[in-house]
Structure 1
Amino acid sequence: MPSPLKVLTRSVVLGVAALAVAGCSSFGFPTLTAQRKSDKECLMRAMYFESNRSSADGMLAVGTVVMNRVDDPRYPNTVCGVVGQPNQFASGVMSRKMTDSGVLLADQMSGRVLRGERHPGVRGAQHFHTAGLRFPYNNMHYVLEAGGNEFYVKR
């Protein structure tokens, strides 16, 4: 008969696995989709789907926002955890196919970001939205427009 500690440990492990398979990121666990991808692929996906695919500047800015979030304790501490958070990035960012020549640029730019390069105009911004949209909030301090997006710091 297994010890009570072994049974409890097995139950906890199985429970965590079930939450991950169910995609329960609200409990702080990344979804199974995010767990299967490397940080580079997750970053590539965010850059590819969130920026003008022909803009290295826009991709670098999106990558900088992802890394700013990784460095902030209010967000998951991995690239895939940040990119895989529900309702934060483009719908299907972790699962849609990347099909055009923008993949090559996203691959190149994600490598540069993972090696430490950051967009100087983004600074500490952790948010962005499509350029040209305006919201009635006075806590959005805009710092940059790049790759079809406007980047801002919440104050």
Structure 2
Amino acid sequence: MRDSVSMKFAIPKLRSSACIACTALVLAGCSTLGGKSEMECMERAMYFESHRSSRDGLIAVGSVVMNRVESSQFPDTVCGVVGQKGQFASGVLSRPMSERDLPKVREAARAVLGGERHPLIGNAMFFHNAQRRFSYGNMHYVLVTGGNAFYEKRRKNLVTQPVPPPPIEELTGR
């Protein structure tokens, strides 16, 4: 009888300890995807998708990642989104990054995770290399920056920008 009583109370205690440990991991920014933090996953997405670009391009990539996190169609964490097979650059979570480019990338990742969004991204959840062209009728382009063309998927009759606009760098001289 004593064993059943102690077992009855041990489980809630164990659950409580587990909850405290999980909360500590979340607050520390840890994820369950290879032990990478949300910050590192965001940095890696920005680095491998737009690392040679301007801050504008980095913020645009980060904005798409966050749009996906907020969508019910994708995982609800940065690492879950970035780690989805076939969605981002091959090896995005495992390839080495050059320390030379990291300060710019790290600052942009911190800004996006802190709430900054590219003002022209809107609800876009997709992008591709700006030099590629696709003939799908559901791609509504919102921005070209940092070497990428960003778009929303829409019903064909709602697409008003079926081709990528000129790169923002050309329009602003940045």
TM range (shorter): 0.7 to 0.9
3-state SS, counterpart of residue 151 of structure 1: strand
Deviation at 1:103, TM superposition (A): 1.2
Higher relative contact order (CA 8 A, sep 6+): 1
Residue number in structure 1 paired with 2:141: 142
Tell me which residue corresponds to 2:16: none
* Residue 126 to residue 67, structure 1, CA distance change in 2 (3 Å): same
How far apart, in 1, do the equivalents of 2:97 and 2:53 lie? 13
State how far apart, in whole Å, the 2-side matches of 1:96 and 1:126 are: 24
Partner of 1:112: 111
Give the Cα separation in 2 of the matches to 1:88 and 1:125: 14
CA contact (8 A) 2:53 2:147 kept: no
The equivalent of 1:41 in structure 2 is 40
Aligned positions, number: 125
Q: Please tell me the residue identity of whatever aligns with 2:145.
A: A
Residue number in structure 1 paired with 2:130 = 131
Aligned-residue RMSD, C-alpha = 1.6
The 3-state SS of whatever aligns with 2:120 is: coil
Contact 1:121 1:144 in 2 (8 A): yes
Paired AA for residue 142 in structure 2: V
Task: Check conservation: 1:47, 1:110, Cα contact below 8 A.
Answer: yes
Question: What are the ranges of 5 or more consecutive residues in structure 1 without an aligned counterpart?
Answer: 1-30
Alpha-carbon separation, structure 1, partners of 2:132 and 2:126:
14
Q: Deviations over 1:80-132 (max 9, x none)?
A: 00000000000000000001522111100000001000001111000000012
Question: Which residue type is aligned with residue 126 of structure 1?
Answer: M
Match of 2:111, SS state, is helix
More moved, 45-54 vs 122-131: 45-54
State how 1:1-155 maps to structure 2 within 5 Å: 34-155=33-154
Is contact 1:35-1:80 (8 Å) kept?
Answer: no
TM-superposed deviation, 1:50: 0.2
Equivalent position SS for 1:101: helix
**TM-score normalised by length of structure 1:** 0.77
- Structure 1: which amino acid aligns with 2:136? Y
Q: Structure 2: 5+ residue runs without aligned partners?
A: 1-30, 155-174
Which stretch shifts more, 87-96 or 102-111? 102-111
Please state whether the residue corresponding to 1:122 is helix, strand or coil: coil
1:27-64 Cα deviation digits (max 9, x unpaired) = xxxx96x2400000000000000014241010000000
CA distance in structure 2 between the aligned counterparts of 1:134 and 1:51, rounded to whole angstroms? 18
